[in-house]
Amino acid sequence: MTRVALIFGGVSTEHDISCRSADNVASALGDRCDLVLIGITREGRWFRYSGDPSELTAGWESHDCVPVALVPGAGLVELAQGAARHKRGTGISTYRRK
């Protein structure tokens, strides 16, 4: 199955519109792909959201989120506290923050 990253939100005044657009895209894609939801808060923090895609328009930041970064050559990197591991086959790496 094809993995698709959907990046939404952001620090602009268009934050809410971006979340609504992401909700529409996620609904349109349905189960045709492995959807990875990456939300950007109004403050500019990036999170991988693993909750219900229908909640993208309200309150997604309050649950089911893991801090992430996009790193050249490494892809999507989870910034989990106290962990340093690569999840084989997922395309997601986890590194220890100093």
DSSP per-residue string spanning 23-85:
HHHHHHHTTSSEEEEEEE-TT--EEEE-S-GGGTTS-GGGSSEEEEEEETTTEEEE--TT--E
Output the pLDDT for position 71: 82
Is 60 in contact with 42 (CB distance < 8 Å)?
Answer: no
Q: For 25-80, how does the pLDDT look when each residue is reduced to its tens digit (9 = 90+)?
A: 999 998 899 999 999 999 999 999 998 888 888 888 888 998 988 888 878 888 86
The pLDDT value given to residue 49: 93
Q: What is the pLDDT of residue 97?
A: 44
Query: Roughly how many angstroms between the first and final C-alpha of the chain, as a whole number?
Result: 35
What confidence category does residue 88 fall into, taking pLDDT thresholds of 50, 70 and 90? very low
Q: What was the pLDDT predicted at 79?
A: 80
Maximal C-alpha separation, the chain: 40
**For the chain, the helix, strand and coil percentages under 3-state DSSP, each to the nearest 5:** 20, 35, 45
Domain at 3-94: CATH architecture: 3-Layer(aba) Sandwich (3.40)
pLDDT at 82 over 90: no
